[in-house]
Structure 1
Amino acid sequence: MTLYYTLVFVLLMVEMVSFFFLVTPLPFNLRRRLFHFISTSDIIARTQYTLKIVFVFILILFIDSVNRVYRVQQDVIASNASGTVITTGTDRTEIQARKFYSQRNMYLCGFTLFLSLILNRTYVLVVDLLAVEDKLAAMKASAASTAADSSVISSKNEEIATLKAELKNKDTDLETLRKQCEGLSAEYHKLGDQLNAKESLGDVNSKKDL
């Protein structure tokens, strides 16, 4: 395997590891910090830009490998059509080797390009999922705060209702006490009038005795 196809194979292994890392379940806080670092790091941004250029070269290699596979197939078809039969083992081995290497390079470049698309889409989906989870956490916190406020308001309303009931009872007791005071005052005036009448009658009798 030539050097550039070896680098393509290494890149394919890196993509596979990155893909398994993306789909691995991690704690929410750790995953959020990690993806925040990836999305804000200058080094990661430069690496992504470099990889885009590398994938352009891989696309060129993929087109070249497809062309080589097509030419090998055309050579085999042309030899069969002309009636030339490959009898020696060396020629047959050479044809099979050319076909094998061209197909291997085509599959290698094709899988690398295909996995890069899957990796990019998976990354976007994970970032969107983290954003949705952040919104959900914020909504839960807002709902909990609203529920706490409503519970506080409900407790305050209950307290106000209790105070109103107590105030009403106090007003009732005060009205009862006022009526009792009025009754006692009337009774006191009545007794005072009776006492004054008795004293007046006693003075009249004493004068008669004199």
Structure 2
Amino acid sequence: MATFVLLVSPLPHVVRKRLFHFLSESPLVAKLAYGVKIAFIFITILFVDALQRMWRITAEADLTKSQQGTADVRAETNIAARKFYAQRNVYLTGFCLFLSLILTRTFYILLDLIHTQEEYAKLKQSTSGKSTGGDQTQQIQELKAKLAAAEKKAADYDIVKKQAEQNAKEYDRLATEFNAKTGNISDKRRD
């Protein structure tokens, strides 16, 4: 429990980084973790044994209750005590296993958090290290100028296109008017 409180306590970033660096890369801690893993294997075996014992004692208690005989207070007390001890062992070993899973997962989540914070600090430093003021401002101005020139060309193209359409309509109108005054009938194939 103390390990969990130490892991999730609000430590400064530098202290937490050194602590987790020590815990994750120290050969002494690695040997200790290896021994703890072996201990948790034994706790798992004890958990399975406690479960089997609890089921067996529960079955004996049910069998004793179902038999209609003389009720012996000492036998009932003995069965109740054995049942209590078996349940206690299941809860203790189960809690130890659950706590080991929580500690392991919390450790790796916090280790990932520290690595992410380090990468963020590096990225922030590399972006602030570049001369963002001069180079990027100049690039932005050049791109804005190119965009304005492209928009002006597009507007000029639209104006020329409209003028060409209007000239073609006016030419057709004048040609029709001229043919009507001179009396010439326009032959589209020869024109």
TM-score, normalised to structure 2's length? 0.68
Aligned to 1:103: 87
> 1:191-210, aligned counterparts within 5 Å?
none
Q: 1:150 to 1:79 in 2, by over 3 A?
A: closer
Does 2:9 match 1:24? Answer: yes
Q: What is aligned with 2:54?
A: 69
1:94-137 deviations in Å (ceiling 9; x for gaps): 11110111100100000000110111000000000000000110
Give 1:36's match in structure 2, choosing from 21, 25, 39. Answer: 21
Q: 1:140 aligns with which of 107, 124, 134?
A: 124
Amino acid at match of 1:98: R
Separation of aligned partners in 2, 1:45 and 1:85:
59
The aligned amino acid for 1:114 is F
Q: Using the alignment, how far apart are the partners of 2:111 and 2:9 within structure 1?
A: 14
* Counterpart for residue 150 of structure 1: 132
Amino acid at match of 2:133: S
Task: Tell me the residue number matched to 1:78.
Answer: 63
Structure 1 stretches of 4+ moved >6 Å = none
Work out whether 1:45 is the aligned partner of 2:27: no
Asked if 2 retains the 8 angstrom alpha-carbon contact of 1:79 and 1:85, the reply is no
**Structure 2 gaps, min length 5:** 139-191
- Secondary structure at the aligned position of 1:83 is classed as coil
User: CA shift at 1:155, angstroms?
Assistant: 9.7
Match in the other structure for 2:173? none
CA distance 1:70–1:135, change in 2 (3 Å): same
Q: d(CA) in 1 for partners of 2:78 and 2:84? A: 10
Sequence identity (%): 41
**Which of 117, 131, 150 matches 2:115?**
131
Considering Cα pairs closer than 8 Å and 6+ residues apart, tell me whether 1 or 2 has the greater RCO: 1
Q: Which protein has the larger Cα radius of gyration, Structure 1 or Structure 2?
A: 1
3-state SS of paired residue (1:118): helix
1:170 corresponding residue in structure 2: none
In the alignment of these two chains, the number of paired residues is: 139
CA displacement at 1:154 relative to structure 2? 7.6
2:166 aligned residue? none
- Rate the CA distance shift 1:141–1:85 in 2: closer, same or farther, 3 A: farther
Question: 2-side partners of 1:119 and 1:154: how far apart?
Answer: 47
Aligned letter for 1:22? L
Q: Do the aligned partners of 1:19 and 1:119 also contact (CA within 8 Å) in 2?
A: yes
